Amino acid sequence: MFKFLEEEPFSPIKHSYEVEAILHREKSKFQDIAVIENRFFGKMLLLDGIVQITERDEFFYHEMLTHVLMHAHPNPKRVIVIGGGDGGIVREVLKHKTVEKVYFVEIDESVITVSRRFFPDVAQAIDDPRVEIKVMDGAEFVKNSTGIDLVIVDSTDVIGFARTLFTKEFFDSVKNSMTENGMFVTHTESLHLHKDIVIEMQEKLMKTFPVVDLYTAAIATYPGNWWAFAVGSLKLTPRECRRPFTIETKFYDDEIHTQCFLTKKFYDKLLKRQLKW
Ligand code: SAM
């Protein structure tokens, strides 16, 4: 048994985690799934050797990927969550009373099973009657969807079978599935380490959506830490918090909402590729 686990990240930096115990290890149809115990982070879920969530800090990522658009949209009722097999995004979406239906589209059923067993707090809302689980590629599901207010992508990195979720064809299907105020969000890696990917994704979204924007949050276990979230919207800017903040969260609130976007000046310089780092 290894004492330290060296992550195999999609980046030039390798994180190394102390392993108190390996709680689970399997090869699913799609990926290597591991759950380890770490002294600081608690239980950690790894897919193909890359950290997905940790018990200690999952809420930063799940809240920020969910609540910014859930508050920017005036009345989100029908939501698609793609990936997110641990259930964290579904849990956050269902905190909103407006929500009538959540399509939870995860390609790998084994991730859901493992999360139910080892991360019951994260997976707690998966069985809510408003949730319909679809075990399939999210890009295929969206092609035949209509009447959707929000699409949230919580996938693995832009490599492997998650690649379908970062294409122009996928963004076009997302747009076609939406109601008039429809909005879309996906993570696009780290501004520190993957600046070019972040910019390219903004440019790609601009070919589909009239409004495109970028907000960030600090995530301890994702390489580069300064994590970028890309938004595509049919009409409304995501910068405005249009609904009262009444739900219970640990990190996200209406003040964070207005602070998490890049300043317009910095965003402009970034997209014009005027900044070297
Ligand atoms: N928060 C995590 C992160 O960014 O590291 C992501 C967590 S979640 C477990 C990622 C999930 O996306 C995985 O369970 C994976 O199976 C799923 N996934 C990847 N590509 C997918 C696709 N094309 N359609 C549906 N689910 C997909």
Task: Report how many domains make up the chain.
Answer: 2
Do 255 and 119 share a structural domain? Answer: yes
Do 95 and 138 share a structural domain? Answer: yes
* Local confidence pLDDT in tens for the 277 residues of the chain: 456 777 766 677 788 899 999 999 999 999 999 999 999 999 999 999 999 999 999 999 999 999 999 999 999 999 999 999 999 999 999 999 999 999 999 999 999 999 999 999 999 999 999 999 999 999 999 999 999 999 999 998 887 889 899 999 999 999 999 999 999 999 998 999 999 999 999 999 999 999 999 999 999 998 889 999 999 999 999 999 999 999 999 999 999 999 999 999 999 999 999 988 9
Q: What are phi and psi of 227, to 5 degrees?
A: -85, 135
pLDDT of residue 1: 45
For ligand 1, the distance from its centroid to the CA atom of residue 245, given in whole angstroms, is: 28
Asked if residue 207 lies in contact with residue 168, where contact means CB atoms within 8 angstroms, the answer is yes
Does residue 188's CB lie within 6 angstroms of at least one atom of ligand 1?
no
- Output the pTM of the full model: 0.96
The domain in which residue 44 lies consists of 2-54
Asked if residue 139 lies in contact with residue 60, where contact means CB atoms within 8 angstroms, the answer is no
How far, in Å, CA of 4 to CA of 262, rounded?
A: 36
How far, in Å, CA of 219 to CA of 215, rounded?
A: 13
Active site residue 154: yes
Do 18 and 97 share a structural domain? Answer: no
How many other C-beta atoms can be found within 10 angstroms of the C-beta atom of residue 42? 15
Q: Is residue 276 part of a domain?
A: no
SS percent in the chain: helix, strand, coil, step 5: 30, 30, 40
Annotated binding residue at 24?
Answer: no
CATH of the domain at 169: 3.40.50.150
How far, in Å, CA of 236 to CA of 183, rounded?
A: 8
Asked if residue 59 lies in contact with residue 95, where contact means CB atoms within 8 angstroms, the answer is no
For ligand 1, the distance from its centroid to the CA atom of residue 216, given in whole angstroms, is: 19
Do 183 and 78 share a structural domain? Answer: yes
Q: Is residue 277 part of a domain?
A: no
Q: Comparing C-alpha atoms, which of 202, 200, 192, 203 is closest to residue 11?
A: 192
For ligand 1, the distance from its centroid to the CA atom of residue 108, given in whole angstroms, is: 8
CATH of the domain at 34: 2.30.140.10
Identify which of 156, 164, 222 to mutate to test ligand 1's pocket (most ligand atoms within 8 A of the CB): 156
